[in-house]
Amino acid sequence: MTAPANLPPNPDPVLNVEITPDLITRHGLLPGEYEKIKTILGREPNLTELGIFSVMWSEHCSYKNSRPLLKTFPVEKADTSAPYGRVLVKAGEENAGIIDIGDGWAISFKIESHNHPSAVEPFEGAATGVGGIIRDIFTMGARPVLLTNSLRFGRLESETVKRLFRGVVAGISHYGNCIGVPTVGGDVYFDESYDGNPLVNALCLGTLRHDQIKRGAATGVGNPVFYVGAPTGRDGLGGASFASRELSEESQADRPAVQKGDPFMEKLLLEACLEMMAVPGLVVGIQDMGAAGLTCSTCETASRGFAGIEIELDAVPQRETGMNSYEIMLSESQERMLVIVKRGREREIEEIFEKWDLHASRVGEVTEGDRMVVKQGGVTVADIPARSLTEDGPLYHREAKEPAYLAETRAWTPDELPDLNSLMLQDALPQMLAHPTIASKRWVYRQYDHMVQAGTVVEPGSDAAVVRLRLGDKEKFVAITNDCNGRYCYLDPHRGGQIAMAEALRNLACSGAVPLAMTDNLNFGNPYKPEVFYGLRESVRGLAEACRFFDVPVVGGNVSLYNENQNGAIDPTPVVSVVGLIEEEAHITRQYCREPGESLILLGGYPGELGGSIYLMFFHGLKTGAAPAVDLAGEKALHDTIRAAIRAGHVRAAHDLSEGGLLTAVSEMLFGKTPLGAKLDLDEIPEEARLDALLFGESQGRALLSVAPGAADAVLALAKETGVPARLIGEVTKDAELAVHCPERETAAFWRVAKLRHQWETSIESRMTRPGLDDDETD
């Protein structure tokens, strides 16, 4: 190759090696991609440049295998007449999307995965995941006000799984608690498919005024570029570990593949950045350094600003000595930001950072043209058109193939299985409640400070968390929920995607909220496997359809692929998180029954499906059947009915039916502060229905309302109007017993609620408590 304008030799001789096919492969680049790099540069890249291209064109940054699918998501709200909910910053435009919530205020939120780092080092992996997503939010100018997380682990019987679970929860708790952002919710599932492949998805939401929105764009030639936050070390070079091994005399042992977080540093950075951004006109652009750190932040800001950028690595604060350009550009050290400041106002930012005992280092400036130029000791070590890194990355339409097992699982029927009788039922409920996926997650969330900032209205444990936002002299209430049942997606990724959205919206409706927008985290296996890609494609199709149908725009998200090991890929897990607004404080609704005499109304009827249920898995060891059917219009009617009943003042408690079905849901409604019981009379059940499916099946589109004494008729009438099947199935009692009576099946059972609650509440903590630390609890 002729190499016009070749760059001078790198100051570090180890970087001046010939780029061999082997090196290219080990950077995860295909031969065709390498050719494209050469065309872009008009010469061979040097090793630093190769590293830069490899991270920017990785799946993580370029979404090369998933972008065509992501483009199918609606990114705007179709209904423009709504008083709030307009998308102010769209998915993909910036580090996080922004949604109008009225009165000049907005929220920014996004979810991000840290699956692979958490598998290697659960504590630090999860902690830095939280740190990373918080930065994505405050870089937009928003003050972070809540965190949630979606976690998936293997079977809790395994010691390895326990170690991962304990480490991940401790890591999240460590980071969130210290930085002072409440962790108000999340979800945790345990399933074999996550053995060895834990998922850790963290979400942050922040608030800001419309006029405080900041962009990650480098504009204004001559404006200085500042580096703020923690110094750069050789953290996270594990992704390019070959380089660590070959390019340094220092031993591999000194090169941690995991990043370590410092929530204290991030708290200072957060406060300093918000203080700086509040000064009018001072900050031109700002971007956090996440994965691909300095590389990503420099080329992305330049690309968004249609400008060039030049930085000098000698000015970059460094924690270690002798770092070369490759290492500095690819380091994933945490708690760092890049800020473009208005020229002539350097002193102002320096003073703010000094107040917080931090340094703001001027590392470069915005330049004319389109090039990202990196120098070290004055020597140019990389010179690349910035937009080629962000816009010209490869794009692949992967092959999809329906997995063979689907034909079999879809065709399955429960006919061979014995149905429940009274005796079996008696044992089944407490066991269901003790299943780790259903059991109380108290062991998890009591380790999270979920009350700091003093705005948590509905604490973890209910269908959705509700947080009061303090907005100047105004208050607003947001509800948030994370959902995704990987088992449904395994059995039918398209339905699974739809269900994830439907369930999230059902949770919001039960809390009294109107949905605003969603963020998703697509966790899948290797996309080069057609069966895996099929799952990804179909899940996204289901999600996108549901988003359109419900008119809930996608404001951002994250894709995590290659979640697999020698035993195969994880179940497709497109985690969704939807945020809703509750217009009046009086409409905030919890899932706990409040007093004897309330009527229990089942909305959505008894479809009686058993496929994909926990019951089937738990009692029969079967992960099979058709995933529950989805009727989007029926769902919408259900949500509207729930909200209407809440607004009319009839509803004391509302709870959606999901994992574990009807009896699980009723039990959970009795686990509030006041000891209560319930009497269920399940007459009029369909003749052909199986009892197991009726009581524990996971048909969608259903919810339970506990309505004020005397309000049952009004609610039934309301449901009749909206066309949602509704039945009065029981009553809340003073006696703390749950009694179920199915006269037509000659089946009856009853349980002490305290016993059920004990099973449910202590299941996870009894597995996780370490000997010698006798557990003592209040509350």
Partner 1 sequence: MKIAVLQFPGSNCDQDAFHAFADALGLPAEIVWHKTTSLGGADLVVVPGGFSFGDYLRCGAIARFSPVMEALREHAANGGRVLGICNGFQILCEAGLLPGALVRNRTLEFRCLTSNLVVEDAGPDWNPQTVGQRLRLPIAHGEGNYRIDDKGLAKLKANQQILFRYADAEGNPTPQGNPNGSVDNIAGIRNEAGNVFGMMPHPERAVERIHPSLDGLAVLRALTTPAAAGASS
Partner 2 sequence: MKVTVFVTPKKNVLDPQGAAVGHAMASHGFPSLKQARVGKTIEIDLEAGDTPEFRASLDKICQELLSNPVIEDYRYEISEAGA
Ligand X SMILES: Nc1ncnc2c1ncn2[C@@H]1O[C@H](COP(=O)(O)OP(=O)(O)O)[C@@H](O)[C@H]1O
**Dihedrals φ, ψ of 656, to 5°?**
-85, 155
* 558 lies in the site for partner 1, by CB under 8 A: no
Span 342-371, contacts to partner 2 by CB under 8 A: 357
Per partner kind, with CB cut-offs from 5 to 8 A, the member of ligand X, partner 2, Mg ion, none near residue 61 is: ligand X
Least distance from C-beta 290 to Mg ion, angstroms? 5
Helical ranges in 371-492 per DSSP H? 386-391, 405-411, 422-434, 442-445, 486-491
* 454 lies in the site for partner 1, by CB under 8 A: yes
Per partner kind, with CB cut-offs from 5 to 8 A, the member of partner 1, partner 2, ligand X, none near residue 51 is: none
Is 494 designated active site? no
- Near partner 2 by CB under 8 A: residue from 157, 192, 246, 254: 254
Closer CB to partner 2, 260 or 767, in the complex: 260
* 179 lies in the site for partner 1, by CB under 8 A: yes
Is 60 designated active site? yes
What is the rounded distance in angstroms from the CA atom of residue 563 to the CA atom of residue 567?
Answer: 11
What is the rounded distance in angstroms from the CA atom of residue 414 to the CA atom of residue 397?
Answer: 38
Cβ atoms of 293 and 330 within 8 Å: the answer is yes
What is the rounded distance in angstroms from the CA atom of residue 723 to the CA atom of residue 48?
Answer: 63
- Say whether 378 sits in a helix, a strand or coil: coil
Per partner kind, with CB cut-offs from 5 to 8 A, the member of partner 1, partner 2, ligand X, none near residue 333 is: partner 2
* 262 lies in the site for partner 2, by CB under 8 A: yes
* 161 lies in the site for partner 2, by CB under 8 A: no
Closer CB to partner 2, 320 or 583, in the complex: 320
- Say whether 515 sits in a helix, a strand or coil: strand
Q: How many residues bind partner 2 (CB under 8 A)?
A: 29
CA separation (Å) from 723 to 628, 640, 700, 716? 21, 11, 16, 10
Q: Which of 598, 489, 594, 614 is nearest to 539 (CA)?
A: 489
- Say whether 715 sits in a helix, a strand or coil: helix
Least distance from C-beta 256 to partner 2, angstroms? 5
* 256 lies in the site for partner 2, by CB under 8 A: yes
Contacts of 579 (CB under 8 A, 6+ apart): 99, 107, 109, 205, 478, 479, 480, 515, 516, 517, 518
Closer CB to partner 1, 249 or 779, in the complex: 779
Per partner kind, with CB cut-offs from 5 to 8 A, the member of partner 1, partner 2, ligand X, none near residue 91 is: ligand X
CA separation (Å) from 768 to 145, 175, 201, 434, 436? 29, 21, 21, 14, 11
- Near partner 2 by CB under 8 A: residue from 124, 191, 383, 698: 124
Span 264-283, contacts to partner 2 by CB under 8 A: 264-265
CA separation (Å) from 220 to 310, 341, 596, 606? 13, 9, 67, 63
Closer CB to partner 1, 439 or 662, in the complex: 439
- Helix (H) or strand (E) segment spanning residue 456: strand 456-458
In angstroms, the first-to-last Cα distance of the chain is 72
* 290 lies in the site for Mg ion, by CB under 5 A: yes
Site string for partner 1, 353-392 (x = CB under 8 A): --xxx-----------------------------------
* 446 lies in the site for partner 1, by CB under 8 A: yes
**Which is the catalytic residue, given 114, 116, 450, 494?**
114
Site string for partner 2, 305-324 (x = CB under 8 A): --------------xx----
- Near partner 2 by CB under 8 A: residue from 67, 162, 209, 260: 260
The DSSP secondary structure of 271-327, one letter per residue, reads HHHHHHHTSTTTEEEEEE--TTHHHHHHHHHHHHHTSEEEEEGGGS-BSSSS--HHH
* 455 lies in the site for partner 1, by CB under 8 A: yes
* 298 lies in the site for Mg ion, by CB under 5 A: no
Per partner kind, with CB cut-offs from 5 to 8 A, the member of partner 1, ligand X, partner 2, none near residue 468 is: partner 1
* 178 lies in the site for partner 1, by CB under 8 A: yes
What is the rounded distance in angstroms from the CA atom of residue 598 to the CA atom of residue 645?
Answer: 14
The DSSP secondary structure of 32-93, one letter per residue, reads HHHHHHHHHHTS---HHHHHHHHHHTSHHHH-TTTHHHHTTS--S-S-TTSSS--EEE-TTT
In the complex, the residues that contact partner 1 under the rule CB under 8 A are: 170, 173, 177-180, 262-265, 267-268, 355-357, 445-455, 457, 459, 468, 470, 585, 769, 773-779
Please give the residue ranges that form the binding site for Mg ion (CB under 5 A): 95, 136, 290
Interacting residues toward partner 2 by CB under 8 A: 120-121, 123-124, 230, 233-235, 250, 253-260, 262, 264-265, 319-320, 333-334, 357, 770-773
- Catalytic residue positions, numbered: 60, 114
